[in-house]
Amino acid sequence: MNALIQKLIELQSLELRAGELRQQIDSFPGKILQIEQGVKAARDAVAAAKQRVLDLHKDRKKLELDVEDWRGKIKKYKDQLYQVKSNEAYRALQEEIRNAEAEMGRAEDRLLEEMVGGEDAEREVKQGEAALKQAEADAQAERAKLMAEKAVVEKDFGEADADVKDHLAQLPTELVDHYKRIARRHGGVAVAEVHDEACSMCSVRIRPHLMQLLRQSGEEEIFHCETCTRILYYVEKPAPAEGKSEASVAEAGS
């Protein structure tokens, strides 16, 4: 095969590899961010649970004051019972006392609910803090693993990139420019092998006269696919061994 084409094929495979590695390197910040978001979610959950504990505590204080308030009113009404002169006023006061007792009862019920809710919230804080601790430990391990992976990928990229530069230096500038123009249009694949007399990239058949030229191509000649314009190369397949096919025919016949 044409030595220049051979170099171009190597260059193409190195560039594709370097491109893949570059993509992997670029994907690391997103992965790190994802890990950090997991920790942030756990931290937010703890903060929300702590806020709930504070809110419930505030509600409880208010309800305790309400209960005291109603208790005070009831005592005041009961004292007034001894001072009223009319039956009407007496009955009205009794009604006030019943109302106040009902209100106090409701406040006490709610206070009980809030206390139970407060215990749940405090349990949530504890569970959230344990989950956060776990999430932080997991994140640290994952980050370390990613950093190790990144170091390997960066090293591989450095090697591939150096190989690319090495190949570029060995090829004529004009050919490199030509190759790069085609590669840009075709996702980095500018060189295509001919398979079964067709371009392996666009699958269009190669005309017989071009096949002929490809088979005979000398050191400096470059041929293109007439359909996708990629640079073509052809590797002559070794003829099938005759002895083997005769043997299999004989085997099938027996």
**CB 149, min distance to Zn ion, A:** 37
The two three-digit tokens of residue 141, written as one number: 């391990």
Q: Give the length of the chain.
A: 254
Q: Which is nearer to Zn ion, 80 or 227 (CB)?
A: 227
d(CA 198, CA 13): 21
Q: Which is nearer to Zn ion, 57 or 195 (CB)?
A: 195
**CB 172, min distance to Zn ion, A:** 23
DSSP string, 185-231: HTTT--EEEEETTEETTT-PBPPHHHHHHHHH--SS--EE-TTT-PE
Q: Which is nearer to Zn ion, 119 or 193 (CB)?
A: 193
Q: Which is nearer to Zn ion, 97 or 231 (CB)?
A: 231
> How many degrees, rounded to 5, is the angle at CA 86 between CA 82 and CA 92?
80
**CB 19, min distance to Zn ion, A:** 21
* 153: number of Cβ within 10 Å: 18
Residue 63: is it exposed, middle or buried by C-beta count within 10 angstroms (0-12/13-18/19+)?
buried
Q: Which is nearer to Zn ion, 80 or 217 (CB)?
A: 217
On whether the CB atoms of residues 9 and 190 are closer than 8 A, the answer is no
**CB 247, min distance to Zn ion, A:** 38
Tell me which residues touch Zn ion (CB under 5 A): 199, 202, 225, 227-228
**CB 38, min distance to Zn ion, A:** 47
